[in-house]
Structure 1
Amino acid sequence: MFSGAQVSLYPMSGNFVGIILDAVKALDPYRDRLCIETDDISTLLVGPPDILFAAMRDLFVAAANTGEHCVLSAAVSRGCPGEPDDAICGVTPSAGRAEPLADRITSALAAVETTDETGQPAAAQFSLYVMGTGSHMDEIYGCIDFLKRSGTFDRAKNFCTRLGGDAGAVFATIHEAFYRFGDPEGHVTLDITVSANTAPRVLADAQRTL
């Protein structure tokens, strides 16, 4: 089943070109396991979900480790009916979907708990869209239950959920939401924004302005 992501990286720095070019080198270890296409707007990553999210994590951490304010934005999709299957994606991303919902939540929590830390704090917000299934709300509510127990849950926001913590755990949480919930043959998408190194003064000034 096709699975992939369109990813854009935004370092808030006068050296944004250098930061992006250096960060893209973090994708090199994944080039034999992902199809990667880059243009002037975004980079397309196509491959198995575990490799997709590991690559996005490493790309983001490489940029954020500069200490500059960095944002990663991504649209992630699996099972899109408009995309052809690609052999590099391997087996059905959510093969575990046949398990009862409670068991999938337990597996997702265990995966996040055992994730290695990167040493880079991150904040994220994302939205999960489960398409074309009559049980989509059961899947969404199950995902919400998982998120609240994940250790990265910050709060619910309008149209999305906010997470926080080490970037490793944050990306692992989002990966599990994408992998464990939704029809294994259905269309599931995520809208993701991840941020690091936001200057407290800038944030305070923005809040006062709003």
Structure 2
Amino acid sequence: MTKQFHDRSLSADALDQIFREARSYNGWLAKPVSDEQVHAIYELMKMGPTSANMQPARIVWVKSEEAKEKLASLAMEGNREKILTAPVTAIIGYDIDFHDELPWLFPHTDAKSWFEGDQEGRKQGAFRNSSLQGAYLMLAARALGLDCGPMSGFDNAAVDEAFFGDEPKHKSNFICSIGYGDPKSIFERSPRPDFDRFNRIA
């Protein structure tokens, strides 16, 4: 039972759905994910905080059979069936030139100037913050009653060419299949450490 620290805390059932009972699925039930659900995931995901509201994530939602086959062909063998059978797989990428959007995304100051002339710094910022946005995507999907199967294990350069070829400053980070997970596709949950093992309060 979760201790209620504040009257705005989520219910124990909600926390179970998003965290404690949520799993990373390897197989999927034959139930579709609609475009409306995809839009709903994004509408929640985009509200998560990023540095200077940079919003560097660039996402391709792979739904068509042709796109699934293309993506699966660029993944390691163990991930191919996961992609082919999932209703949708999100390619979470990032834009190295995210700073071009900052004048309207972060209008309080000239944030674009912070990143001009520093492509390496932009790469680091885009990768870090797109990783955050990918995590928000998974939490949003779970909150909406869907399951997730995040993956690396693919040829990033080949995926960039195949799915971001017209935008050379867009690079893939990781992928995440989304749908209704098949309980038969998961194994017993791996251990999670107690607080004291990896934490300290200074």
- Which one has the bigger helix percentage? 2
Tell whether the structures are fold-level matches, with TM greater than 0.5.
no
TM-score, normalisation: structure 1: 0.26
Q: Which structure's relative contact order is higher, taking Cα pairs within 8 Å and 6+ residues apart?
A: 2
TM-score, normalisation: structure 2: 0.27
- Which one has the bigger strand percentage? 1
Rg larger in structure:
2
